């Protein structure tokens, strides 16, 4: 137990990482990071002030000419070394992530940390493959080509649900393309973003390329979004805050990338493998204690399978072991905070008035009573327009609803404001193909739900936002394409000048 907390000593110098070193914030407010498994404080730090943001932006601005002027190969080498340091630090990073977010160590060790190392290795390679249209004489009289250029200082804001991965998804494509960055993590989970930036410095990425300001959204976040020296805002978080971020960013005409909320449908057709669908629904709704923007939240099940699906999902949910994130037998940890647990419980309590809570629907007592735990919960009998079907709950809660025709299943799946992810469960290739075409989402899985890979884009549509994280597509957000055009005629009176000079 003692050893586990020693890793927190790494942050003894403060929670602001500016110009390649840790230091305290200069605001007059402190924040204590709470371990949600026990309710105990694990680290108290002074929050960033707007002056700290100014300093971080200045550090990023100063680092930009050198970093953007490095060759793609040099940036790639540095990011490869970065992946190596992350691998060396993997155990500490996983421990810190589990402590601050309550994630089972199994999840951080097998998913969050290796996923981030793989993202880093991917962007080390991708840094050498920025692409554009071929240079050519498109007009006949000119040679045209495109330059894909870094933008400058990026200001990013990340949520608490995957603190490490969300920081990595923002930072990696930005720096691989030659930008420098200031990232604001959620103030309740700043620690692995700091470790990530510290690992970059250890790997030789120059000071100022990655800066972290740990502070409040309203003060520090808005100051970063509105900062005149920040050229782009990349935000991952809720749709409500995303709208506010867009408003502030518009005042300084910033490029915007918004990864917002989700309410993913999970559509089970009547020819599906019931056992696979039930396992898939339980794993995909409970991953990260349901605090996953792509989590399965609404299972639409064609009527002939509905009762059997509900019975099997309830049985599997009841077998999931809720407990201490550091115990090897734990499947599900607490929610990230007591506020989030209470918010989830509120949705379920209100649903009791209009729907049936089939299993779960309570916080466990006993040894777990001091943590922000909540049992896996299945709800049936809710109408399509009810709160639990339409709103993002962001907890271990799945709602199951029946449908009759294929048309109806797809129509109901699309009937929320969100469009981040969806899945279709069927053995029929025509049904599957139709679902991939007609489900309105940034990602559609067939006979699975959740896996992500570095090579493929992640991002939503509708109220889930716009722009892509991961993959080469993310470079569309973090670079600008400049058209360069050379005259090849060397004549004074060019053909197109007739628009001004006529036949003179
Ligand atoms: P949140 O919107 O409350 O906060 C996100 C970040 O914004 C935090 O760092 C917060 O401090 C900051 N913030 C708050 N107010 C701000 C303001 N006025 N100006 C600037 N920044 C401000 O989200 P959360 O509760 O931390 O995370 C959960 C949400 O994130 C869910 O809605 C989830 O779906 C979403 N999410 C989306 C994706 C995706 O890829 N689309 C991924 C992960 C999480």
For 440-476, how does the pLDDT look when each residue is reduced to its tens digit (9 = 90+)? 999 999 999 999 999 999 999 999 999 999 999 999 9
Confidence of residue 327 (pLDDT cuts 50, 70, 90): very high
Largest Cα span, the chain: 94
Within 10 Å of residue 107's Cβ, how many Cβ atoms?
23
Token couple for 417: 């404001």
**Residue of the nearest CA to atom 6 in ligand 1?**
159
pLDDT tens, position by position, 69-93:
999 999 999 999 999 999 999 999 9
Categorize the per-residue pLDDT at 504 as very low, low, confident or very high, splitting at 50, 70 and 90.
confident
Neighbours of 38 (CB within 10 A): 17
How far apart CA 151 and CA 149 sit, in angstroms, is 6
- Going 333 to 190 to 476 to 205, the CA torsion angle's sign is negative
Instruction: Mark whether 443 is an active-site residue.
Output: no
Record the tokens describing residue 286, joined without a space: 């409970």
Q: Report the C-alpha gap between 331 and 106 in whole angstroms.
A: 8
Rg of the chain on CA atoms, in Å: 25
CA dihedral 78, 81, 83, 87 (to 10 degrees): -160
pLDDT tens-digit series, residues 98-126: 999 999 999 999 999 999 999 999 999 99
Given a contact cutoff of 8 angstroms between Cβ atoms, the answer to whether 90 and 113 are in contact is yes
Atom 11 in ligand 1: residue holding the nearest Cα: 217
CA of 236 to the centre of ligand 1 (A): 5
Tell me the three state secondary structure of residue 472.
helix
Residue 238 Cα to ligand 1 midpoint, Å, equals 4
* Distance from C-alpha of 405 to C-alpha of 152, rounded to nearest angstrom: 51
Average confidence score pLDDT of the chain:
97
Token code pair at residue 193: 């973003």
In this structure, what are the phi and psi dihedrals at residue 45, rounded to the nearest 5 degrees?
A: -140, 160
pLDDT of residue 126: 98
92 neighbors 10 (Cβ within 8 angstroms): yes
Note if 293 is an active site residue.
yes
Please provide the DSSP assignment of 249-262 as one string.
HHHTT-EEEEE---
Summarize the confidence of residues 494-503 as an average pLDDT: 93
Is the distance from CB of 299 to CB of 263 less than 8 angstroms? Answer: no
Band of the pLDDT at 234, cuts 50, 70, 90?
A: very high
- Which residue has the least CA distance to atom 18 on ligand 1? 218
User: How far is residue 74 from each of residues 10, 71, 79, 123, 175, measured CA to CA in Å?
Assistant: 29, 5, 9, 13, 12
Ligand 1 atom at minimum distance from 458 CA? 40
In this prediction, residue 255 carries a pLDDT of: 97
The three-class DSSP label of residue 211 is strand
Cα distances from 226 to residues 17, 49, 102, 243, 422, in angstroms, run: 20, 14, 32, 14, 34
Q: Is 183 in contact with 165 (CB distance < 8 Å)? A: no
Distance CA 222, CA 219 (A): 6
State which ligand 1 atom lies nearest to the alpha carbon of 262: 34
Catalytic residue among 259, 359, 392, 443: 259
Q: Are 419 and 464 in contact (CB under 8 A)?
A: yes
Residues 330, 229: Cα–Cα separation, whole Å: 46
> Is it the case that residue 414 has pLDDT exceeding 90?
yes
Q: Residue 218 above 90 pLDDT?
A: yes
Give 241 Cα–ligand 1 centroid separation in angstroms: 6
Q: Whose CA is nearest to atom 42 of ligand 1?
A: 293
Pocket test for ligand 1, best of 189, 234, 241, 291 (most atoms within 8 A of CB): 241
What is the Å distance from ligand 1's center to 30 Cα?
21
For residue 420, which atom of ligand 1 is closest to its CA?
A: 41
Rounded to the nearest angstrom, the distance between the alpha carbon of 478 and the centre of ligand 1 is 20
Which residues, listed in sequence order, are joined to residue 402 by a DSSP beta bridge? 301
Q: Which of 100, 76, 376 is nearest to 204 (CA)?
A: 76
Contact 322, 375 (CB under 8 A): yes
- Helix, strand, coil percentages (3-state) for the chain, rounded to 5, are 45, 20, 35
| pTM of the shown model | 0.97
- Ligand 1 mean position, distance from CA 237 (Å): 2
How high is the pLDDT of residue 1?
Answer: 45
148 close to 131: Cβ distance less than 8 angstroms: yes
Ligand 1, CB within 6 Å, residue ranges: 157-161, 166, 184, 186-187, 217-218, 221-222, 225, 236-238, 241, 244-245, 259-262, 293, 392, 394, 420, 460, 464-465
Q: Is the pLDDT of residue 285 over 80?
A: yes
- pLDDT above 70 for 308: yes
Q: Give the other-Cβ count within 10 Å of 493's Cβ.
A: 10
Please give the distance, rounded to the nearest whole angstrom, from the Cα atom of residue 267 to the centre of ligand 1. Answer: 27
Whether 79 and 127 have beta carbons less than 8 Å apart is answered as yes
Percent pLDDT > 90 in the chain is 99
Residue nearest to atom 41 of ligand 1 (CA): 259
Atom 9 (ligand 1) nearest CA = 186
Which residue is associated with the tokens 């620690």?
A: 191
User: What is the rounded CA–CA span in Å between residue 188 and residue 190?
Assistant: 6
**Angstrom distance (rounded) from CA 287 to CA 474:** 25
5 pLDDT tier (thresholds 50, 70, 90): confident
Helix (H) or strand (E) holding 147: strand 142-150
- The structural domains of the chain, ordered by start, are 4-259+458-483 (3.40.605.10), 264-446 (3.40.309.10)
Distance 96 CA to ligand 1 centre (A): 20
Best residue among 237, 287, 295 to mutate for probing ligand 1, ranked by most atoms within 8 Å of CB: 237
Angle at 211 between CA 205 and CA 217, to 5 degrees: 155
Q: How far apart are CA 341 and CA 357, in angstroms?
A: 17
Residue 185 CA: nearest ligand 1 atom is 9
Determine the Cα–Cα distance for residues 164 and 288; give it in Å rounded to an integer: 13
In ligand 1, which atom is closest to the CA atom of 159?
26
Which one is catalytic: 222, 293, 359, 392? Answer: 293
Contacts of 366 (CB under 8 A, 6+ apart): none
The per-residue pLDDT for 290 is 98
Q: How far is Cα 296 from Cα 440, in angstroms, rounded to an integer?
A: 15
């Amino acid at each position: 137990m003692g050893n586990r907390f020693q890793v927190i000593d790494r942050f003894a110098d403060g929670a602001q990482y500016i110009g390649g070193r840790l230091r305290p914030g200069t605001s007059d407010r402190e924040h204590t990071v709470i371990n949600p498994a026990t309710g105990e404080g694990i680290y108290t730090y002074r929050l960033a002030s707007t002056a700290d943001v100014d300093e971080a932006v200045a550090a990023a601005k100063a680092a930009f000419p050198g970093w953007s002027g490095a060759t793609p190969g040099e940036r790639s080498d540095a990011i490869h070394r970065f992946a190596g340091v992350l691998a060396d630090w993997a155990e500490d990073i996983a421990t810190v992530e589990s402590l601050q977010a309550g994630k089972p160590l199994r999840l951080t060790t097998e998913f969050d940390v290796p996923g981030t190392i793989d993202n880093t290795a991917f962007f080390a390679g991708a840094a050498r493959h920025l692409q554009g249209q071929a240079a050519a004489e498109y007009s006949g009289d000119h040679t045209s080509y495109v330059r894909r250029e870094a933008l400058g200082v990026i200001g990013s804001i990340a949520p608490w649900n995957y603190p490490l991965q969300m920081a990595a998804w923002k930072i990696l494509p930005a720096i691989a393309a030659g930008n420098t960055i200031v990232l604001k993590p959620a103030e309740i989970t700043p620690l692995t973003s700091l470790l990530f930036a510290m690992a970059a410095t250890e790997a030789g990425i120059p000071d100022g390329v990655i800066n972290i300001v740990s502070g409040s959204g309203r003060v520090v976040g808005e100051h970063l979004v509105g900062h005149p020296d920040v050229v782009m805002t990349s935000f991952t978080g809720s749709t409500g805050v995303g709208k506010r971020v867009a408003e502030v960013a518009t005042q300084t005409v910033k490029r915007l990338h918004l990864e917002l909320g989700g309410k993913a449908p999970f559509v089970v057709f009547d020819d599906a493998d019931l056992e696979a669908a039930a396992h898939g629904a339980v794993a995909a709704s409970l991953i990260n204690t349901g605090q996953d923007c792509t989590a399965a939240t609404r299972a639409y099940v064609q009527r002939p399978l509905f009762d059997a699906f509900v019975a099997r999902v309830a049985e599997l949910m009841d077998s999931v072991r809720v407990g201490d994130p550091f115990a090897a037998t734990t499947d599900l940890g607490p929610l990230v905070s007591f506020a989030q647990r209470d918010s989830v419980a509120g949705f379920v309590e209100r649903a009791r008035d209009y729907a049936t809570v089939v299993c779960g629907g309570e916080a466990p007592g006993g040894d777990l009573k001091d943590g922000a735990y909540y049992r896996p919960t299945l709800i049936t009998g809710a109408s399509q327009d009810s709160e639990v079907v339409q709103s993002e709950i962001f907890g271990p809660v799945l709602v199951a609803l029946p449908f009759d025709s294929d048309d109806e299943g797809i129509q109901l799946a699309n009937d929320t404001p969100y469009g981040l992810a969806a899945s279709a469960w069927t053995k029929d290739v025509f049904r599957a193909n139709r679902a991939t075409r007609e489900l309105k989402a940034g990602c559609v899985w067939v006979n699975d739900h959740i896996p992500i890979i570095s090579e493929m884009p992640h991002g939503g549509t509708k109220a889930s936002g716009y722009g892509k994280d991961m993959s080469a597509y993310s470079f569309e957000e973090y670079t600008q394409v400049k058209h360069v055009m050379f005259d090849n005629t060397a004549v004074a009176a060019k053909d197109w000048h007739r628009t001004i000079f006529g036949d003179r």
